[in-house]
Amino acid sequence: MSTETPDFLKIALHLISGVVVFLYGIHRTTESLKIIAGDSTKRVLHKFTKNTILGTLTGISTTAVLGSSSALIILVITSVDAQLLSFAQSLAVVMGANIGTTLTTQIIAFKLTDFTAVILLLGFLLILLGKSEQRLHLGTVILGIGLIFFGLEAMDDSMRPLHHYPPFIEIMKKLDSAWVGVLIGGLITVLIQASSATVAMAITLASQQMISMEAGIAIMLGAEIGTCSDTLLATIKRSRQALLTGIFHLCFNIITVILGLIFFSFLVQAVNAISSDANVAHKIANAHLLFNVLGTLLFLPFINLIASWLHKLPIHEKEKALVEVEN
C-alpha cells in the first residue's frame, strides 16, 4: 500500500470540475425537458391526480421525463399555490416523484461513460444544425446527458490517486456506520443541492471499492433528506397549502429514512436478494428504487389521514413568513 501523499489540491479541483459538469448537465437536461413538455406537464398534473394511485403514477412518470424529482415537486408546490392542485392531490405526486428519480440512479449505474463522446457529439450536432426550436432543445437534452456522463467520468478519475492512501481509506471505513453515512449524504446534498450527484459519488466510491455497498446505501438515504432543502426553499412566500406540501415532503423523507436505518440490515439483504450477481453500482441503484417503492407503499393507504393531520398544524397565512424563516 502506497504511503505517498497525493496532491490534494489537484484531486479537489478535478473532483469539483466533475461535480460542476455533472450538475450543469442535469440542469440543462431538466430545463430543456421542461420546455419540451411545456404547459402539458401542468395539464397532466391537474388531469391525472384525481386519486392516489393515479397521482403516484403521474409523479413517477413525470419525474422520469423531467429527470429531477426536485423539479417536479417544486412545480407541484407552485401548482398548489396557484390552486391548480389541491394539497391532498399533491401528496401522492410527491411520493411518486421520489420513485421516479431512481431512474437517474439506474442510468448512472449502467456506466455508459464509454459512449460519452458519441452522446456529446450528437447533442452538439443537433444544436448546431437544428432548424427548429424543438430540435434545438432536444440537442440540449442529449448534450446535457453527455455532460452528466462526462462529469461522472471526471469524478471517477479524481478519486483514483486516493485508492491506496491509508488515512483516506481509514476515513472511508467510518462510513460503514449507517448513521454516519446518512449524515454525510445529507450534508453533501444540502451543499450541492442535487441528490443524484451525491448518489453518483457513492456509486463511484463503491465501484472503486473505496467504500462498502452498505456505506453507499447509507449515503443514498442521507441524500433523500438533503434533497428536501431546495423544495422547502420553494415554499417561501407561498400559500399555507403549498407550505404544507413542502412539510409533507420533508416529513415523508425523514420518517422513511429513519425506518430505513432501523431495518437497515433487512434492506441490505433484500437488495442482495433481488440484485443477484449485479455489481455494486447496480445494487446501490436497486436499493434506491426498493427503498422509495417500499416507503410509498407504506404511506399510500394513509394519504387522507396524513393530509387531515397536516391540516391541523398551527400554521396560518399571517404566520407563514415566520414559519418560512424558521425552516
What would the pLDDT profile of 205-259 be if each residue is shown by its tens digit? 888 888 889 999 999 999 999 888 878 887 887 888 888 998 999 999 999 999 9
**pLDDT, position 272:** 93
Radius of gyration for the chain, computed over Cα atoms and rounded to the nearest angstrom: 20
Q: Please report whether residue 3 resides in a domain.
A: no
Q: Please report whether residue 1 resides in a domain.
A: no
pLDDT in tens, 158-208: 877 776 677 777 777 777 788 889 999 898 888 776 788 888 888 888 888
Q: Please report whether residue 15 resides in a domain.
A: yes
Please state, as a whole number, how many other Cβ atoms lie within 10 Å of the Cβ of residue 190: 18
What is the pTM for the complete model shown? 0.79
Q: Are 214 and 57 in contact (CB under 8 A)?
A: no
Angle, to 10 degrees, between the axis of helix 264-275 and the axis of helix 280-299? 120
Sign of the Cα torsion 37, 41, 47, 49 reads positive
Q: Please report whether residue 146 resides in a domain.
A: yes
In one letter, which amino acid is 256?
T
Q: Please report whether residue 2 resides in a domain.
A: no
Q: Please report whether residue 28 resides in a domain.
A: yes
Name the residue range of residue 155's domain: 8-326
Q: Please report whether residue 13 resides in a domain.
A: yes
Cell of 146: 453527455
Domains in the chain, number: 1
Q: Which range, 8-12, 247-251, 315-319, has the best average confidence (pLDDT)? A: 247-251
Fill in the DSSP letter of residue 9: H
Distance, in Å, from the CA atom of 83 to the CA atom of 153, rounded to the nearest integer, reads 43
